[in-house]
Structure 1
Amino acid sequence: MRETRRTRRSRRAAAALTAAFLLMTGALTGCDSSSDPNAHGSPAKRRPTPTPVWDRSPDSIAAVGDSITRGFDACVVLSDCPEVSWATGTDTKVRSLAMRLIGEPAIAERSWNYARSGADVADLPEQMAQAAAKKPELVTVMVGANDACADSAERMTTVENFRRSFEGALKQLRRTAPKTQVYVSSVPDLKRLWSAGRGNPLGRQIWKLGICASMLGDADDVSTRAQTRRARVQDRVVAYNEVLKAVCGKDPRCRYDGGAVFDFRFSGEQLSRWDWFHPSRDGQERLAEIAYRNVTSAKPPA
């Protein structure tokens, strides 16, 4: 009988120890499970870090657009001067977007300028095809001034045609270079250019040769009719910029400048001393600063 009681006591003690061990094991397992969601299953898997859609430091650049991007009238009268182009120029004073992003030694090998003086938005698809063939990491676009600068306000490019051509240009790029980024500059404020240059006698004489007649024609005329004409041109430029913003906004790899170029107040120093309309070297430098700030910004302009 004593042996039986001793045996029972031993069994109860062993059972108690076993229960305590199991409780401790369960508690430890519970702690591990709460801190490691994969404790009961497959090994932990790291989620890949998503690659940002917008690369703030592209390593190759192509430029498309019109005379502004060609540096027209910035160095010599009635001539292109691509070395001072805000987009791809090599002038160390201007410090173009390409120079700021790529650096001077490599700029000749990794930047291309397909803009053309006199070009309007209808020329953009062809220029974009040339740019796409280089597979650049970034394409800059500045176009629209010539669409508004017609012989008369009635001959300006319609908003519908402007949209169609710009959409076609982006589609042309995407066929060949689907991952290329696009930076779109707004059309400059032509009415502000008229206001800044009309006080210069030489500028007024050159404007009579037909430079942007829809806005600059009869520069001294401030009659109601002339003011109405200029307002019409101004409204068309605003509409073009709305198109650029809307179409660009549908492409995750496109960034519009938020109207920064349109809002920039070009002064006499920033305008060509030959035509008081195109940007001077100083004006090209200002455009390069705006572009660099927007391209490298963590967030697109508002």
Structure 2
Amino acid sequence: MRKGIRRGRAVLAVTTAAVLCLAGCDALGGGGPEAPGARQSKPAPTPSFAWDRSPASIAAVGDSITRGFDACAILTDCPEVSWATGGNAEVNSLAVRLLGARKAATHSWNHAVTGARMADLPAQMARAAADKPQLVTVMVGANDACRATAAAMTPVADFRAAFEDAMRTLRRAAPKTQVYVASVPDLKRLWSQGRTSALGKQVWKLGICPSMLGDADALDAAATLRRDTVHKRVEDYNTVLGEVCAKDPRCRFDGGAVYDYRFGTDQLSHWDWFHPSVNGQARLAEIAYRKVTGATA
């Protein structure tokens, strides 16, 4: 009888322990299978980055547009009227608008090179990063489309790979630097505006953007196809700029604002009727300032 009682008590103890474990072992990390509908632990949220709308230093990379080419004299750089870093009062560059004229003179740097293509951007980014700027401006791609022929334009895949390389180069040296990326201008519109100038067309013959500006007055099927091909490539480049920039939380693309801007003859150099004039540089500065200081891109 006593053995039966002891055996009954043992069975009761084991049964009670099993019930308690079913109720609490998993919650205490007992390792059992998780019950359906059990609460899942949520991953820690990724900290959001607050865009600084008043950076204290600026470096510019890119091509002839950022160098102010043909804005002051024929076939000559004029960086003092650069939309990004110039000190010209009429332009009121992005650097001057953000920093003031005195500080812009010592806290902005222009590493753009006339004739540069996207393949040149990684080296420019490395030089810009050495300045430790809080903002880097990028405007490049026109020369990738402005080749001797449409067939010689930079392939879109190569354009993308070079831009990604440039961004990696910057991030390795300056992980917190912000980036403003301007779209490639609408080269076909520049052709349509500039071809009204006899002087401009003569300058074009010196070799300015042959793929778009060659045989400027030709309107036959072949010429139209060539210009349309260049136009489409520029649109593809802008798609790449937007997509690559979107992957970096510290990068803002202008959303096609420069591409959409309707440059008129007042905004074109009266030396070559293709590059921005001083007035055109001022318009680019306005666009950049609006995008950099906006609540969102």
Deviations 1:81-135 (A, max 9, x none): 0000000000011000000000011112110000000000000000000000111
- The TM-score normalised by the length of structure 1 is 0.82
Contact 2:58/2:137 (<8 A) preserved:
yes
**Could you tell me how far apart the structure 2 residues matched to 1:289 and 1:155 are?**
33
| Contact 1:214 1:233 (8 Å CA) reproduced | yes
**Is 1:297 aligned to 2:294, yes or no?**
yes
Whether the aligned pair in 1 keeps the contact of 2:93 and 2:285 (CA below 8 Å) is yes
Task: Determine the C-alpha separation between the residues in 1 that align with 2:167 and 2:102.
Answer: 30
TM-superposed deviation, 1:76: 1.1
Work out the CA distance in 1 between the residues paired with 2:97 and 2:228.
Answer: 37
Residues 252-280 of structure 1, C-alpha deviations (whole Å, 9 max, x = no match): 00000000000001111100001000000
CA contact (8 A) 1:149 1:156 kept: yes
2: CA distance, partners of 1:53 / 1:172: 22
Aligned to 2:194: 197
Mapped to 1, the partners of 2:213 and 2:48 lie a distance apart of 47
- Counterpart in the other structure of 2:210: 213
- 1:53 Cα deviation from its structure 2 partner: 2.5
Aligned to 2:3: none
Cross-structure match for 1:243: 240
1:41-120 equivalences in 2 (<5 Å): 52-120=49-117
- Which of 158, 162, 165 is matched with 1:165 structurally? 162
Indicate whether 1:121 and 2:128 are aligned.
Answer: no
Q: Please list every run of at least 4 consecutive aligned residues from structure 1 whose deviation after the TM superposition is greater than 6 angstroms.
A: none
C-alpha distance in structure 2 between counterparts of 1:52 and 1:182, whole Å: 13
How much does 1:52 deviate?
4.5
Q: Note the C-alpha offset of 1:63.
A: 0.0
Q: Report the 3-state secondary structure (helix = DSSP H, G, I; strand = E; otherwise coil) of the residue aligned with 2:168.
A: helix
Cα distance in 1 for partners of 2:63, 2:252 equals 19
Structure 1 residues 191, 132: CA separation in 2 closer, same or farther (over 3 Å shift)? same
Equivalent-residue separation in structure 2 for 1:111 and 1:51 (angstroms): 27
Aligned residues: 251
Match of 2:141 among 129, 144, 154: 144
**Structure 1 gaps, min length 5:** 1-49
Please say if residues 49 and 250 of structure 2, whose CA atoms lie closer than 8 Å, have aligned partners that are also in contact: no
Equivalent in 270, 273, 280 of residue 277 of structure 2: 280
Q: 1:228-252: per-residue Cα shift (whole Å, max 9, x none)?
A: 0000000000000000000000000
Distance 2:204 2:259 in 1: 21
Q: Matches of 1:110 and 1:121 in 2, distance apart? A: 25
Over alpha carbons, which structure has the higher Rg? 1
Q: Percent identity?
A: 67
1:269 paired to 2:266: yes
Paired amino acid for 2:119: A
Instruction: Give the superposition deviation at 1:137.
Output: 0.4
SS of corresponding position for 1:269? helix
1:256 to 253, 257, 279: 253
Look up the match of 1:153.
Answer: 150
User: 2 CA distance for matches of 1:109 and 1:204?
Assistant: 39
**Does the 8 Å CA contact 1:53/1:252 hold for their aligned counterparts?**
no
Amino acid at match of 1:141: V
Q: Deviations over 1:20-68 (max 9, x none)?
A: xxxxxxxxxxxxxxxxxxxxxxxxxxxxxx7752101101000000000
SS at match of 2:54: coil
The aligned counterpart of 1:181 is 178
AA of the residue aligned to 2:188: K
Letter of the structure 1 residue corresponding to residue 293 of structure 2: T
Letter in 2 for 1:127: Q
What is the root-mean-square deviation of aligned Cα atoms in Å?
A: 0.9
Q: SS at 2:137's partner residue? A: strand
Report the Cα distance in structure 2 between the residues aligned to 1:168 and 1:52, rounded to whole angstroms.
22
SS of 2:115's equivalent? coil
